[in-house]
Chain A
Amino acid sequence: MRPIHIAGFAQLDQVLRDTERDEAEMVQQVTAAALADAGLGRKDVGFTCSGSNDYVMGRAFSFTMAIDGLAAWPPIRESHVEMDGAWALYEAWVRLQHGDVDIALVYSFGKSSLGGVAESLTYSLDPYFLAPLEPGPDVLASLQARRMLDAGLATEADFARAVAQAKAAAVINGQVPDPLDHRVGTSHLPLRAEDGPVRTDGAACVVLRAGGGGPRISGIAHRIDPHQPGARDLATCPSAVLAAEAAGVDIARLDVAEFHAPYSSQVVLLSRVLGLSERTTVNPSGGALAADTPMVAGLVRIGEAAQAIRSGRARHALGHASSGPCLQHNLICALEAE
Chain B
Amino acid sequence: MSTDPSSPKARPAVTRFKSPVRIEYEVAAGTVTSRFLDGILEGRLEGRRCPSCEKVYIPPRGSCPTCAVPTSEPVDVGPRGTVTTFSVIRIPFEGQVLTPPYACAHVLLDGADVPLLHIVGECDVDEIRMGMRVETVWADELKPTLESVRYFRPVDEDDVPYDQLREHV
Contact = CB atoms under 8 A, between A and B. Distances in A.
A181 B8 CA distance: 54
Contacts of B26: 113-115
Chain B residues touching A, majority SS: loop
Contact of A114 (B25, B33, B66): B25
A71 B30 contact: no
Interface string B1-43: 0000000000000000001010111111011110000000000
Interface stretch (B57-65, B76-84, B87-95, B134-142): B57-65
Of A22, A42, A127, most B-chain CB atoms within 10 Å: A22
B97 interface: no
A131 interface: yes
Given A55-B23, A113-B26, A120-B23, A22 B65 contact: no
Interface stretch (A23-31, A184-192, A231-239): A23-31
Nearest to B52: A71
Contacts of A101: none
A19 B63 contact: no
Nearest to A131: B19
Interface string A156-185: 000000000000000000000000000000
Given A22-B30, A115-B25, A71 B19 contact: no
A18 B30 CA distance: 8
A24 B65 contact: yes
Contacts of A25: 30, 32, 62-63, 70
Contacts of B21: 123
Interface residues of A, number: 33
Contact of A73 (B24, B31, B62, B66): B66
A20 B32 CA distance: 8
A116 B23 contact: yes
A131 B69 CA distance: 42
Nearest to B68: A71
Contact of B19 (A42, A67, A120, A127): A127
B84 to A, nearest CB: 19
B67 interface: yes
Interface in A49-75: 55, 58, 67-73
A36 interface: no
Interface string B133-152: 00000000000000000000
Contacts of A119: 23
A68 B60 CA distance: 12
A98 to B, nearest CB: 25
Contacts of B23: 55, 58, 115-116, 119-120, 123
A278 to B, nearest CB: 43
Contacts of A113: 26, 28
Interface string B114-138: 0000000000000000000000000
A149 interface: no
Nearest to A24: B63
B27 A114 contact: yes
A20 B31 contact: yes
Nearest to A119: B23
Contacts of B69: 28
A32 B68 contact: yes
B33 A72 contact: no
B25 A24 contact: no
Nearest to A58: B25
A19 B26 CA distance: 10
A19 B30 contact: yes
Contacts of B62: 21-22, 24-25, 28
A40 B166 CA distance: 35
A289 to B, nearest CB: 24
B68 to A, nearest CB: 4
A297 B87 CA distance: 44
A152 to B, nearest CB: 36
A31 B68 contact: yes
Ranked 8 nearest A-B pairs via Cβ: A71-B68, A58-B25, A19-B28, A28-B63, A25-B62, A68-B65, A119-B23, A24-B63
Interface of A: 17-22, 24-25, 27-29, 31-32, 42, 55, 58, 67-73, 113-116, 119-120, 123, 127, 131-132
7 contacts: A17-B28, A19-B28, A19-B30, A20-B31, A69-B65, A114-B27, A123-B23
Given A28-B70, A114-B26, A132-B19, 9 more contacts: A21-B30, A25-B62, A29-B70, A32-B68, A55-B23, A69-B63, A114-B25, A116-B24, A120-B23
Interface of B: 19, 21, 23-28, 30-33, 61-70
